[in-house]
Structure 1
Amino acid sequence: MSPPIDFGTAWRCVGVHRRYGNELALWLCDEPPAAYSDAYKRARASMTAAGFSWTDRGHDQPRLLACWWDLGVTVDVDALRAEVDRVVAEAAAECEQKAAAEQKRHERDVAETELRALLIRSALRALLQERPWALGRALSEARDLAAEEAWTSWGLRSAERYLSNAEDNIRRAEERLSRTPPALWFARAADEAVRGAALEACRELSARDEDWAADRNSIGWSQATCWAGHVLSEREALDHGETAHALALLHQHRRQLSDELNLALFGEAPARRRRPAPAEPAGALLL
């Protein structure tokens, strides 16, 4: 004997199992449709009387599975099906009403947000165009949001947060550059040629920094130097203090710079790491 209603899905018999002191045949449904859950919630008395339930028997899944116990009773299948169809239809109607109400709420939210979003959307797109590095790890999300033509209030709040965080990042970079310059590089930063080379090197690293330090790939700036490095690269010229700060940042990335730039900045080129020689193939003859 099989379940009186299959709910349009597959059931499998897993043998006889003990239930309330009785040995009963047990059928399981691994992926019950929504109709089964709706029927069990809304017509539970009729469902359980017919043998339907949820169980942890007959399987090793970390969740309860829909089941049917063969209680050995006669089930009025037509009456059960009629009740199941009724409550499932009620659940579907309620779901449609909720969806319609949610759609209206969404449309109202978009309409009310649109007027307030004009300036914020424009500011976010300008930031993405001119200073994307300031967004840090939020860059991808900010790009996706800026590409959307219709914002909800949640999208507007997100854009405002991205802009605020970017402003904070820029402010922190400016504060870092306004501190007392590192003494180690201050004397060398007095040289006008060093200042020009420092600005050139900053711009070179910023041009390479296509991921804005999101990945540790030894290309461009690091997360520790990204914001200050990009701020420096935007300057028309570097003053004495800014150059000292730039030298401190650039020294951390000197292996990315040419020997010519390293000589101009630090008076020496860094030792280049040698690549290991290829291993001799197995069985090679020595001549």
Structure 2
Amino acid sequence: MPETNVGGWQGPPAGFGLTWQPPRELKVGGVPKALWTAEAPSQDYDDALAGPEGRSLRNLGFSHDRLRGGLPCYWEGVHADARQVECLVNTAVRGLPAYREKLARERVEKAEREALTAAAVARRAAEDLVLAERAIAAARESLRTQAWAWAVRDDVETAERRIARGPAGMERYQSEHLLDLVARAQANIDRALKAMEIPYEPEAERAALPEVQAAAHEGCKLLTARDADRAGIRNSSGWGKTTTTRGHILAGLPALDATLASHALRALRTHRKQLPREMELAVFGHEMADMLAEAAA
């Protein structure tokens, strides 16, 4: 675009209060135009181009001179309608207060939204921390007092990892999952207790004897003391996978009644070889199979 200094151009209107440098004549597509560049920036000008009349102002030639630091500029064409341009500029200037009020209102609304969002994020983080602390406390207590009710080893390892890591940074879903694991262990206990509400008939007659109830209780305590692995390892010590929950529950009770003793006898019968001979006799007595075995010896 060749550039020459010429005269005879009308120039931009004075509505924005700008001082304009002498124009440069440029040929754009073979058509001469005068490029007027302001001497200094103007907030009014910038707001007008950003406001509701901005597109119309640009269509008439108002822009920013990128070659001169983004100063306001006006491209005047040879057929520019000065009255139309002046009218549009005046309209844009009159609309500036309303536009700025709108911008200020939007800034306030945006700040309020951001504050609400930040408060919600902070509240959520605080709630998540409380939830994590509660989940860790519940899991720690459950593992301390009822580890035998945690039937799946992977659940125990997951809980122990999260307890060791602490509540900071624990995601909500992880806390909820940890509480689910605690609830699952409690559900195992509840099911076992429910199953022991009705006497186990094959053992009911002997379980009705008070001395058998006491002996069965001691037998449950003995096997529970040996159940350090919580039936997690196949060995001949303590309870097995099918008896560990019932056994621990029975051992932890103050005493056994006839119904509970019938279930204790059922569980102990599976592990009777672990009982000392004297305790075995107190629990099961001289049963026919035992007497036949002794006679054959």
TM-score bracket relative to the smaller structure? 0.5 to 0.7
CA radius of gyration, larger in: 2
Q: Paired residue for 1:132?
A: 147
Out of 153, 167, 174, the position equivalent to 2:193 is 174
Out of 144, 152, 165, the position equivalent to 1:148 is 165
Matches of 1:143 and 1:169, distance apart in 2: 19
Which stretch shifts more, 129-138 or 227-236? 129-138
Please state how far the C-alpha of 1:268 moved relative to its aligned partner: 3.9
Out of 116, 122, 125, the position equivalent to 2:131 is 116
| 2:253 match: secondary structure | coil
**Is the CA contact 2:230–2:239 (under 8 Å) kept in the aligned structure 1?**
yes
**Which residue type is aligned with residue 147 of structure 2?**
P
**Is the CA contact 1:206–1:221 (under 8 Å) kept in the aligned structure 2?**
yes
Q: Paired residue for 2:105?
A: none
Query: Does residue 1:204 correspond to 2:222, yes or no?
Result: yes
Please state how far the C-alpha of 1:132 moved relative to its aligned partner: 0.9
| CA RMSD in angstroms, aligned pairs only | 2.3
Please state how far the C-alpha of 1:112 moved relative to its aligned partner: 5.4
From the superposition, tell whether residues 184 and 112 of structure 1 become closer, same or farther in structure 2 (CA, over 3 Å): closer
Which aligned pairs between 1:224-243 and structure 2 lie closer than 5 A? 224-243=242-261
From the superposition, tell whether residues 225 and 254 of structure 1 become closer, same or farther in structure 2 (CA, over 3 Å): same
Matches of 1:147 and 1:228, distance apart in 2: 29
**Which residue type is aligned with residue 195 of structure 2?**
R
Query: Does residue 1:223 correspond to 2:223, yes or no?
Result: no
Which aligned pairs between 1:16-35 and structure 2 lie closer than 5 A? none
Matches of 1:255 and 1:109, distance apart in 2: 56
Please state how far the C-alpha of 1:141 moved relative to its aligned partner: 2.3
* Cα displacement string for residues 196-235 of structure 1 (whole angstroms, at most 9, x for unaligned residues): 1111110111111111112221221111111111111110
Please state how far the C-alpha of 1:118 moved relative to its aligned partner: 2.2
Please state how far the C-alpha of 1:191 moved relative to its aligned partner: 1.5
Q: Paired residue for 2:16?
A: none
Q: What TM-score results when the alignment is normalised by the length of structure 2?
A: 0.51
Please state how far the C-alpha of 1:153 moved relative to its aligned partner: 2.1
Matches of 1:201 and 1:110, distance apart in 2: 49
Out of 157, 162, 176, the position equivalent to 2:176 is 157
From the superposition, tell whether residues 197 and 217 of structure 1 become closer, same or farther in structure 2 (CA, over 3 Å): same
Structure 2 unpaired stretches of 5+: 1-121, 292-297
* Cα displacement string for residues 244-275 of structure 1 (whole angstroms, at most 9, x for unaligned residues): 1100110010011110110101114969xxxx
Please state how far the C-alpha of 1:109 moved relative to its aligned partner: 8.5
Please state how far the C-alpha of 1:237 moved relative to its aligned partner: 0.3
**Is the CA contact 2:231–2:238 (under 8 Å) kept in the aligned structure 1?**
yes
| 1:178 match: secondary structure | coil
**Which residue type is aligned with residue 257 of structure 1?**
L
Which aligned pairs between 1:1-287 and structure 2 lie closer than 5 A? 113-137=128-152, 138-149=155-166, 150=168, 151-179=170-198, 181-268=199-286
**Is the CA contact 2:135–2:176 (under 8 Å) kept in the aligned structure 1?**
no
Q: Paired residue for 2:64?
A: none
Q: What TM-score results when the alignment is normalised by the length of structure 1?
A: 0.53
From the superposition, tell whether residues 115 and 200 of structure 1 become closer, same or farther in structure 2 (CA, over 3 Å): same
Q: Paired residue for 1:75?
A: none
* Cα displacement string for residues 4-61 of structure 1 (whole angstroms, at most 9, x for unaligned residues): xxxxxxxxxxxxxxxxxxxxxxxxxxxxxxxxxxxxxxxxxxxxxxxxxxxxxxxxxx
Structure 1 unpaired stretches of 5+: 1-106, 272-287
